[in-house]
Amino acid sequence: MQSSKAFDHLWMPFTSWQDAIDYPPLVIKRASGIHLYDRDDKSYIDGTGSWWVSLFGHGHPRITAAVRKQLEQVEHVMMAGCITEPTLHLTELLASILPGVMSRIFLSDNGSTAVEVALKMALQYHALTGCGNRTRFIALGGGYHGDTLGAMTVGSIPRYHALFHDRFKKALYTDPPYCYRCPCGKEPGSCAAQCMDSLEKLLDEYHSSVAAFIFEPMAQGAVGMRIYPAVVLERCFALCKKFGILTIADEVAMGFGRTGKMFACEHAHVSPDIMCLAKGLTGGYLPLAATVVNKTIFDAFKGDAFSNRTFEHGHTFTGNALASAAACASLELLREYDIPASLGARSSQLSKLLRTFYRYDIVGDVRTLGMVGAIELVADRATKKRLPARERIPFTICRNARAKGLLIRPIGDVIYFMLPYLTTEEQLDRVVAITHEAFKETIDEQLPHQ
Ligand X SMILES: Cc1ncc(COP(=O)(O)O)c(C=O)c1O
Q: Contact positions toward ligand X, by CB under 6 A?
A: 110-112, 115, 144-146, 216, 221-222, 250, 252-253, 278
| Strands 43-46 and 406-407, bridge-based pairing | parallel
How far apart are CB 174 and ligand X at their closest, in Å? 16
* Separation of alpha carbons 204 and 445, rounded Å: 52
Closest to ligand X by CB, 264 vs 401, is 264
How far apart are CB 347 and ligand X at their closest, in Å? 19
How far apart are CB 51 and ligand X at their closest, in Å? 7
* Separation of alpha carbons 415 and 157, rounded Å: 17
Question: Quick check: 239 and 203 in contact, CB under 8 A?
Answer: yes
Closest to ligand X by CB, 393 vs 418, is 418
How far apart are CB 177 and ligand X at their closest, in Å? 14
- Give CA separation, 385 vs 181, 185, 379, 412, 413, in Å: 11, 15, 5, 14, 11
How far apart are CB 146 and ligand X at their closest, in Å? 3
Q: Which residues, in sequence order, are bridge partners of residue 368?
A: 373
222: left (phi > 0), else alpha (psi -120 to 50), else beta?
Answer: alpha
Q: In the bound complex, which residue of the shown chain has the CB atom lying closest to ligand X?
A: 111
- Give CA separation, 121 vs 103, 248, 301, 322, in Å: 15, 10, 9, 26
Closest to ligand X by CB, 110 vs 271, is 110
How far apart are CB 154 and ligand X at their closest, in Å? 10
Closest to ligand X by CB, 202 vs 278, is 278
Closest to ligand X by CB, 250 vs 365, is 250
Closest to ligand X by CB, 33 vs 221, is 221
Closest to ligand X by CB, 253 vs 353, is 253
Closest to ligand X by CB, 175 vs 250, is 250
- Give CA separation, 429 vs 327, 381, 415, 434, 436, in Å: 30, 26, 16, 9, 11
3-state secondary structure of 96: helix
Buried b (16+ CB within 10 A) or exposed e, 199-230: bbebbeeebeebbbbbbbbbbbbbbbbbbbbb
Read off the DSSP letter of residue 138.
E
DSSP 427-441: HHHHHHHHHHHHHHH
How far apart are CB 224 and ligand X at their closest, in Å? 12
How far apart are CB 111 and ligand X at their closest, in Å? 2
